[in-house]
Structure 1
Amino acid sequence: MTRLRGSLIAAAVPLFLLAACAQPGTSAGAPGPATPESSSASPQSGDELVARVESFGGFVPPDRTVGTLPALSIYADGRVITEGPVPAIYPGPALPNLQVLMLSPEQIQQLTKEAADAGVTAGTDFGQPNVADAPTTRVTVGRQSVSVVALNEAQAGDPMLSDAQKSARAKLAAYVKKLQQVSSGDSASASAAYEPESLAVLARPWTKPAGGEPAQTEMAWTGPALPGDYLNPSIKIGCVVVSGADADKVMTAAQKANQMTPWTADGQKYLINFRPLLPDEKGCAEFKGNR
C-alpha cells in the first residue's frame, strides 16, 4: 500500500509557530476525563500536533466511544486530517473515511496566533450550562487545551451562564468553526485518502443482533490474536496494533466488511472497530482515556 505521507508532506512549520501556544496549561471550564499520556514526536517532526478538535461524553454508552476519531487534527508539516463523507447506509463501512489535505505555514501561523484570543488558554471560564447529557468539546492548540461542556448545545439565554461565560463560549465556537472552514476551504489543497502507518484493532465480543436486524456474513480473522489487551477491565474491548504488511492485509479484508460484520477467530466471534492511528498516536494506550 502506498503511503500518502511521502507524496503530500510540505516543508515543516518553523518551531516558533508551535511555540506561540506552548506555555504550560490545562483544560479550563468543565473538566473532562484525563488525557491519556502518549509519547509525541520531537518539535522538529512534521508529526507534532499543532491543533485538534475532538468531543467525548454525552448520552452515549462508554463502550461505543472507545477509539472515537477527533473531528480535526492539524500537524506541523501542514497536514490536516479529518473524517470525510460516508455512505448513508446501515451498517456503515468498517473503515472510516479519513481525508488529509495541506495548509500553508502562513495559515497555521495565523490559526495558532488566534488561539489565545479565542480562549484556548488556562483559566478561561466557560461555565457549566443547564444542559444534561451533552458532549464535551476539547480544543487543543500547542500545549494549551480547554474542555467545554455543551459548546454548541447550550441555549443563548441559559440562566446558568454569565454574560462573560457566554462570550467566551461564542469566541471558542467561532474559532472551532474557523478551523473547520480553513481546513476545507478553497485555500487548502485538494484532499486525498489518509493511509495510516499503523491500525488499531478494537475487538469486543459479538452479540446476536436485536430482532429485525439484518443478518451479516461472517468473515474469518487473519490478523493477530484477538481480543488483545483489554483497555478497561469493566469494558471488554481488547486492542492490538498492526503495521506494515500486516496492516495492509487487515485493511484489505476490512474493505469487504461493515461495522456489524462478525469476525471469527479461534472459535469466538468479535465485532471490530478499525481505528487508523493518527501521526501523533503510538498505540493502544491512546484509547485508555476518553478517546
Structure 2
Amino acid sequence: MTRTRGLVIAAATIPMLLGACAQPGTTPVAGAADPVTESASQDTTAVIRVEYRGGFVPPDFLLGRLPMVSVYADGRVITDGPVPLIAPGPALPNLQVQQVGPAVVEELTREALEAGVKTGYDFGSPGVADVPSTRVTVVTAEGTQVAEAVALSVAQADDPALSAEQKAARKKLAKFVDRLTALPTAEGMAKPAAYVPEEVAALASPWTDPGDGLAGKPVAWPGPALPGEALNASTGTHCVTATGAQKDAVWAAAEKANQQTPWESAGKQWRVLFRPLLPDESGCDSLRSAG
C-alpha cells in the first residue's frame, strides 16, 4: 500500500520559451528503475506547478514540502510520487520524472487559464479548519497568474460559506488540478524514472528519541556540517545544501535511512528532513518562502 505526499499545484508557463528550449519529438524518459539526473543543457524554467500552502503541519514539513507536479519548459514533468505506508517512512521522497512534448505544455498552459487561474480571484473560505490551500501558478508571456483556494479538495459542495460563483470556480479549478495530478499515469506517458537532483537540502533540527525503538543507530553525517543556517529560528530548523561528491554521499546514506534516523555531526545528533532541490531551485534561500 502506498500514499502520496501533500498536494500542491503551482503552474508556471512561458509559451514563448518552448519553441527555443523544448524540442519536438523528445525521446521519452526511460523506465522507473533508471535514475535521471539534471543536465546543464536542460531548460530549468518551471512552466507548470501544483503545490499545497499552509495547513496544520510541523514547520519543517512546511519548509521541506515538495510541489506535487512541476512542468518545465523543456517538457520534463517532475512529480512527488507514492511512498510505502511504513513507519518510520523512508528518508528520501519518491521524486519521479517524465517527458512530454512542447504541444502538451502549451495545452496545459491554455487549460490552466481556462480553468480560472487568475491572480486575485476570491475562491472563498469554506468552513474547514487547519487544511492547506492549493496554489496553481501560471506564468505566460503576458505575466504570472496565481490561483489559491483553501481546502479545494475537501470542502463540501454545499458549503454555505461559499457563493454559487465560488463553488463553480472551485469545481473548475479542482478539475484542472485533477488533470495535472493524473498526468503521470495518463495514456501515452512514458514510465516514470527516478529523479536525482544536482543539489539536495538537509533541514536539520535537534534529534529527540521518539521512544519507539525504530530510529536505528546513529549515522555519521557525510555532508556539510550540521545544522547550517537558520530557516526557522523559533523551531530550531536549520538548512545546509550539498552538491557534487558531497551530494552523492548524502544521497547514498539517505537511501539507507528513515525519517527518524539520528545523524551525527559536530558531536551532536540531528533529525534531518531531506528536500531534493528542483531544477529551478538553488540553495536554502529557495525554501524560505515555503509555507
What TM-score, normalized to structure 2?
A: 0.82
Query: What do residues 165-207 of structure 1 show as CA deviations (whole Å, max 9, x unaligned)?
Result: 0000000000011112233212222210101111111111001
**Aligned 1:16-35 pairs, distance under 5 A:** none
Query: What do residues 58-84 of structure 1 show as CA deviations (whole Å, max 9, x unaligned)?
Result: 222323322101111000000010122
Query: What do residues 7-60 of structure 1 show as CA deviations (whole Å, max 9, x unaligned)?
Result: xxxxxx962669xxxxxxxxxxxxxxxxxxxxxxxxx96211111110022222
**Could you tell me whether the CA contact under 8 Å between 1:203 and 1:272 is conserved in 2?**
yes
Change (3 A) 1:215 1:244: closer
SS in 1 for 2:48: strand
Count residues with an aligned counterpart: 253
Change (3 A) 1:167 1:206: same
1:114 aligns with 2:127: no
1:253 aligns with 2:256: no
SS in 1 for 2:85: coil
2:115 and 2:72 map into 1 onto residues whose CA distance is 20
SS in 2 for 1:194: strand
Unmatched segments (≥5 aa) in structure 1: 1-12, 19-43
Aligned position for 1:171: 172
Pairwise CA distance, 1:229: 0.1
SS in 2 for 1:148: strand
Aligned position for 1:71: 68
1:114 and 1:14 map into 2 onto residues whose CA distance is 13
1:107 and 1:180 map into 2 onto residues whose CA distance is 14
Residue identity matched to 2:124:
G
SS in 1 for 2:200: strand
1:129 and 1:147 map into 2 onto residues whose CA distance is 13
**Could you tell me whether the CA contact under 8 Å between 1:50 and 1:76 is conserved in 2?**
yes
**Could you tell me whether the CA contact under 8 Å between 2:18 and 2:74 is conserved in 1?**
no
What TM-score, normalized to structure 1?
A: 0.82
**Could you tell me whether the CA contact under 8 Å between 2:49 and 2:67 is conserved in 1?**
yes
**Could you tell me whether the CA contact under 8 Å between 1:17 and 1:112 is conserved in 2?**
no
Aligned position for 2:222: 222
Aligned position for 1:15: 16
**Could you tell me whether the CA contact under 8 Å between 1:53 and 1:71 is conserved in 2?**
yes
Unmatched segments (≥5 aa) in structure 2: 1-13, 20-40
The sequence identity of aligned pairs, in percent, is 52
Q: How large is the RMSD of aligned CA atoms in angstroms?
A: 1.9
1:206 and 1:253 map into 2 onto residues whose CA distance is 17
2:59 and 2:117 map into 1 onto residues whose CA distance is 27
1:168 and 1:282 map into 2 onto residues whose CA distance is 34
Aligned position for 2:187: 186
Instruction: Tell me which of 88, 95, 99 is aligned to 1:98.
Output: 95
**Could you tell me whether the CA contact under 8 Å between 1:124 and 1:168 is conserved in 2?**
no
Aligned position for 2:196: 195
Aligned position for 1:135: 132
Aligned position for 2:79: 82
1:154 aligns with 2:151: no
Pairwise CA distance, 1:284: 0.4
2:60 and 2:223 map into 1 onto residues whose CA distance is 22
**Could you tell me whether the CA contact under 8 Å between 2:226 and 2:240 is conserved in 1?**
yes
Query: What do residues 120-168 of structure 1 show as CA deviations (whole Å, max 9, x unaligned)?
Result: 1123221111111111111112121111111011111111100000000
SS in 1 for 2:236: strand
Residue identity matched to 1:167:
A
Pairwise CA distance, 1:213: 4.7
